[in-house]
Chain A
Amino acid sequence: MTSTKTPVTLEESNIESFLRMDRMPHIWCAGCGIGTAVGCFARAVERAGLDPDKVSLISGIGCAGRAAGYVKLDSFHTTHGRALPFATGLKLGNPELNVVVFSGDGDLLAIGGNHLIHSARRNIDLTVICINNFNYGMTGGQMGPTTPIDARTTTTPYGNVEYPFNAPYLLAASGATYVSRWTVMHPRELERSIAEALVKPGFSFVEVLSPCPALYGRLNKESKGLDTMHTYLKRSVIRNGADPKDAEIGLNGPILVGKYVDIERPTLWDCCKQVFDRVKEKKSK
């Protein structure tokens, strides 16, 4: 295959200045998609024109949770599922900060599920990047809240019997003002979407489907990262503005990607400021 495009090198994208190079090599497996998502995030910060000194990244626990340790930002590697409430305190403590939560599907949707829906409900101005690799990678490939029904994992050796969360549908219902889903096979779209989410006031949620060849892939006939990338290419259907209800992901069939929600709603801080004004008014009377 020939291409007329020159590939963008690491140097050109200036990504090294964004990473803790003294921590390389990272712990992610060959073929894992998390690194690609971190790259998209780095370029998105640049694209959105944010001052990296004012960007904080918070992670929970798990493979995606390790992202906090590799970015050269104020970065917090917190406890399992708790990145969002930690981020909530940080953002309310200093509303000038751009606070980003970068974590995995198990961290955000299972153990941190309550925090996720309530953060969306109060529409706090945070950006969540949710890596979805359909299983718990760090602990060895167990079933998680996004594992498709019938999929094999190390704790569903006969196939998964639980229905998974449809993350975009859950987040739309919970009140997020920006919801999208892309795969690491769509790096340009993903970068653009993260950049949009970063500047969008309110609660933004970007789901990133990402291969886990060593565990989920191996048990589900995609033992190479490349196999999963081919699957994404084959199964992805770009449909911006689709009804998130239709965004369910099965073991087979189409995977809807695109932007589901992009609405305006006063943020938590907007509402807090109204209270401050009310108190001030009452005082001056």
Chain B
Amino acid sequence: MSEDGILHGTFFMNGDVACAEGAISAGCRFFAGYPITPATEVAERMSERLPHVGGVYIQMEDEIASMNAVLGASWAGVKAMTATSGPGFSLMMENLGLGVILETPCVLVNIQRAGPSTGLPTLPAQGDMMQARWGSHGSYEIIALVPSSPQEIFDLIIEAFNLSERYRVPVLVMSDEAVGHMSEKVVIPEISPENLMSRRRPDVPPEEYLPYKADGDLVPPMAIAGEGYRFHVTGLTHDEKGYPVMTAEAQDKLVRRLVDKIKLNRNDIIKCEESDVEDAEIIVCAYGITSRIARLAVQQARNEGIRAGLLRLITVWPFAEERVKELAKQVKAFIVPEINYGQIVLEVERCAAGKASTVLVPHMGGSVHTPHTILNAIKESLQ
């Protein structure tokens, strides 16, 4: 550990611990959470590590409070995070919406377990992918990243903080129990400050500051409490001053901007990884832990002379719409394995728009797919 309390070097650690270390490296100095399997180790690690870097850990009375405390800390100017799993994620939906409408940078990690309800607390699933997109009420756009290894959870937490500061939006990191609890090599590099983004602050005096007046990039500069700006923010529909305005016109202007600031910048946000897609006639579209198994299935298919490829979604929301549309012109079928009964497959199907067929390989949770299941689906789609 260096003088400043930040880890550097090569470690053997599980995904939850790597998640916490990613946050520390990203400059996160506030964590509020509530114990829940399989995300508890994130909180435990943060409680141990934050005092070393001058940060604050607090265990709240529930996940509703945790999400709110994270928003409050962000308005004090601190990078803030919480981590949870299914039932806690449900409780956080209310104030995820508040984070969206107040345009509050923060990171929310979901180490997914199988549901519905209490489900299988100790076992993996990818069942909250649509909840991540639509879980809070109203129209909004969100960013969600999906890591497939402890190393990637570390990397994506940093990316998540950068995106949240850049676009003033809560960013979701949708991991799962398998990645959270697996231990692998994690390389923690020294991260130079210019690779860590901070929200743009107002450059006008308080009397000229309008909290929700955005320029061309649609992201308004953000004042923080205690600096004399004396701003007002509200969960009600508001104008550029931040004052509530109860009209259809104000609603239209605000919601359009909240959505468009993500939508119009999607090319800057969306990341995918492709392998063997150039000549592929079958593409497996997978994300998170499932993409690792899909990779094996694709390799096996190639060994057997099948022109298969892998499209690994790193950003799930906003969805890699344009790329899937492009690939649909080239391939016969998309195979979509996911640990749920069909969620992201709906997006693939929408973008394929009948140009390629779409095959769901569902798994209800509790374990992961076998490569064999995915390989079979690849073969069947060729018949």
- Indicate, yes or no, whether A interacts with B: yes
Q: Enumerate chain A interface residues (CB-CB to B < 8 A).
A: 20, 23, 52-54, 56, 58, 68-69, 72-79, 82, 84-94, 96-97, 114-115, 118, 272, 275-276, 279, 283
Please tell me which one of the listed residues A75, A79, A84, A93 contacts residue B232 in the complex, with CB atoms under 8 A apart.
A75
Contact B226 A97 (CB under 8 A): yes
Q: Which of A53, A69, A91, A275 contacts B230 (CB 8 A)?
A: A53
B262 CB-CB contact with A under 8 Å: no
**A96: B residues at CB distance < 8 A:** 226
Q: Which residues of chain B are near A20, meaning CB under 8 Å?
A: 232, 243
Q: Which residues of A contact B98 (CB under 8 A)?
A: 78-79, 82
Which one, B51, B102, B227, B236, contacts A53 given CB within 8 A? Answer: B227
B51 and A279 within 8 A (CB) = yes
Closest to A59 in B: B234
Nearest A residue (CB) for B47:
A275
Total A-B pairs, Cβ < 8 A:
143
Contact of B225 among A23, A74, A276, A279 (CB under 8 A): A74
Q: Which residue of B lies closest to A279 (CB)?
A: B51
A89-B231 contact in complex given A82-B95, A115-B65, C-beta closer than 8 Å: no
Residues of B with C-beta under 8 A to A85:
32, 60-61, 64-69, 72
Is B282 on the interface with A (CB-CB < 8 A)?
no
CB-CB nearest 9 A-B residue pairs: A93-B76, A89-B72, A89-B69, A85-B65, A77-B234, A85-B68, A93-B73, A90-B72, A89-B73
Residues in B with CB closer than 8 Å to A58 are: 72
Interface pair A79/B69, CB less than 8 Å apart: no
A97 CB to closest chain B CB, in angstroms? 5
The answer to whether A88 touches B226 (Cβ under 8 A) is no
A182–B231 Cα distance when bound, in Å, is: 30
Q: Tell me what chain B mostly uses at the interface: helix, strand, loop, or mixed.
A: mixed
Smallest beta-carbon distance B287→chain A, Å: 31
A279 contacts across to B, CB distance below 8 A: 51-52
Find the residue from A69, A82, A91, A96 having the highest chain B CB count within 10 A.
Answer: A82
B77 touches A94 (CB 8 A): yes
Number of interface residues of B (CB under 8 A): 46
**Chain A hits for B362, CB < 8 A:** none
**A122 vs chain B, min Cβ distance (A):** 8
Complex alpha-carbon distance, A118 and B69, angstroms: 13
Q: Does B80 contact A (CB under 8 A)?
A: yes
Please measure, in the bound complex, the distance between the C-alpha atom of A256 and the C-alpha atom of B227, giving whole angstroms: 40
29 contacts between A and B (CB under 8 A): A20-B232, A53-B226, A68-B232, A74-B226, A74-B230, A77-B233, A77-B234, A78-B95, A78-B98, A78-B235, A79-B94, A82-B64, A82-B98, A85-B61, A85-B72, A86-B68, A86-B69, A86-B71, A89-B72, A89-B80, A90-B73, A90-B225, A92-B69, A93-B72, A94-B225, A97-B76, A97-B226, A276-B54, A279-B51
Q: How far is the CB of A129 from chain B (nearest CB, A)?
A: 17
**B30 an interface residue at 8 Å Cβ cutoff?**
yes
Task: Indicate with 1 or 0, residue by residue over B48-64, a CB within 8 angstroms of chain A CB atoms.
Answer: 00011010101011101
How distant is B176 from chain A, measured CB to nearest CB, in Å?
27
